Amino acid sequence: MREHGWGYYVHHIQDPGKQPLFLLLVGFIGSFLFIRFSVRMIRRGVRWWPGNVTPGGLHIHHVVFGVFFLLVAGFTVFATDGTHPWIDAAGLLFGIGCGLVLDEFALLLHLEDVYWSEQGRKSVDAVIVGILFAGLLLVGYLPLGVTPGTPIRWGAIGVISVNACFTVVALLKGKFWSGMLGIMVPGLSWIAAIRLARPRSPWARWRYTRRPRKFARARRRDARWHRRYDVARTWFFDLIAGKPTSPGQAPSRAHLFAERWAHRMAARLEHAAYTPLDQARVQKLAHLNRLAAKRGPKPSTGTAESARRRAAAKRRRAVAAGRSKGHL
């Protein structure tokens, strides 16, 4: 059985030159599963797990490490001209980087930390689409079944263009998976483009608002089929990625854990680092300055002007005393 499995790998993966793509897929899936396990352990506040990387109180997202792996893989391919075994190592590193980057796709899209919110589910969608594309390429599927070495004709270019149009229509109708998979598998996006759109899709807002009967049919079909699919999809995503935090729900242990460590690090660096003045401190200092300006500094008795005034007063008293003696 072991020899049969190795022979299958050699015949279908190694001999056709698909080993870098296979290692890319392994790194992709492995990094995604590892990082999801890591963040769920951090979210639960498990003590034996290392936790977030927060040097100096700054939380470093794992998308940073993913970009680093992608850069290393790209430099390796260009520096070694894609030769073995460097191309295999680059494929593995590139897959690891893809898993780490796409796991925080929602953060890059919204430019805020929505990892445990409902918007964060876009990251799981992006990861699954990437894994499906890599898997289809590995088993031999290319767009519209075109294989390397096949002469491209105008008919094939026309079919690819039509398929792209159907894919765009399917995506506008709210059928994400059918449209994306239709790029690789012919026919899926065509069927999705012909059928009714989902009621919350852009196509329904543009085309069904003046056609109430069609809009009602779309709502009934969505309630009958798509909601069941959404329930199964939500259950599957909760299983592999964790349940998102509701807007009115208390913060998770992961957020509390990260905030607690950030406050500790800030307290340690408070005396060494410069702390910007807050609004309350600024108002207090301004109030003290106004009081000092009202009271004003006491005049000094040792200045040159005061000495001249005292000398003048003394002369006037002496003159006044001499005149008084003369009258006597």
List pLDDT tens digits, range 159-179.
777 888 888 888 888 888 788
Residues 38 and 162 in one domain: no
Residues 24 and 106 in one domain: yes
The token pair that represents 8 in the structure block: 């299958």
The token pair that represents 222 in the structure block: 């969505």
Residues 60 and 178 in one domain: no
Greater confidence (251 vs 235) lies with 235
Q: Where are the beta strands (DSSP E) in the chain?
A: none
SS3 115: coil
Indicate whether 326 pLDDT > 60.
no
pTM reported for the whole predicted model = 0.61
Residues 25 and 118 in one domain: yes
Residues 261/57, Cβ–Cβ less than 8 Å: yes
Q: Using alpha carbons only, how large is the chain's radius of gyration in Å? A: 37
Rounded to 10 degrees, the C-alpha dihedral 198/199/201/207 comes to 100
Q: Of 47-51, 281-285, 306-310, 311-315, where does mean pLDDT reach its minimum?
A: 281-285
The predicted model gives 114-140 an average pLDDT of 83
Residues 26 and 68 in one domain: yes
Greater confidence (204 vs 299) lies with 204
The token pair that represents 294 in the structure block: 């009202």
Residues 179 and 219 in one domain: no
Indicate whether 140 pLDDT > 80.
no
Q: Is residue 102 part of a domain?
A: yes
The token pair that represents 79 in the structure block: 């520096």
List pLDDT tens digits, range 308-318.
777 888 777 77
Residues 11 and 116 in one domain: yes
Instruction: Give the integer Cα–Cα distance in Å for 256 and 253.
Output: 5
Instruction: Give the integer Cα–Cα distance in Å for 198 and 219.
Output: 7
Residues 133 and 188 in one domain: no
How many domains does the structure of the chain reveal? 3
Mean pLDDT over all residues of the chain? 77
Q: How far apart are the first and last CA of the chain?
A: 143
Q: What does the buried/exposed string (b/e) look like for 78-109 if buried means 16 or more CB atoms within 10 Å of the residue's CB?
A: eeeeeeeebbebbbbbbbbbbbbbbbbbbbee
Residues 15 and 54 in one domain: yes
Instruction: Give the integer Cα–Cα distance in Å for 202 and 172.
Output: 6
CA 162 to chain centre: 34
State residue 156's pLDDT score.
66
List pLDDT tens digits, range 185-211.
778 888 888 888 888 888 888 888 888
Task: Name the range with the highest mean pLDDT among 33-37, 205-209, 231-235, 296-300.
Answer: 33-37
Residues 141/128, Cβ–Cβ less than 8 Å: no
Host domain of residue 59 = 6-140
Residues 202 and 107 in one domain: no
State residue 305's pLDDT score.
66
Residues 211 and 170 in one domain: no
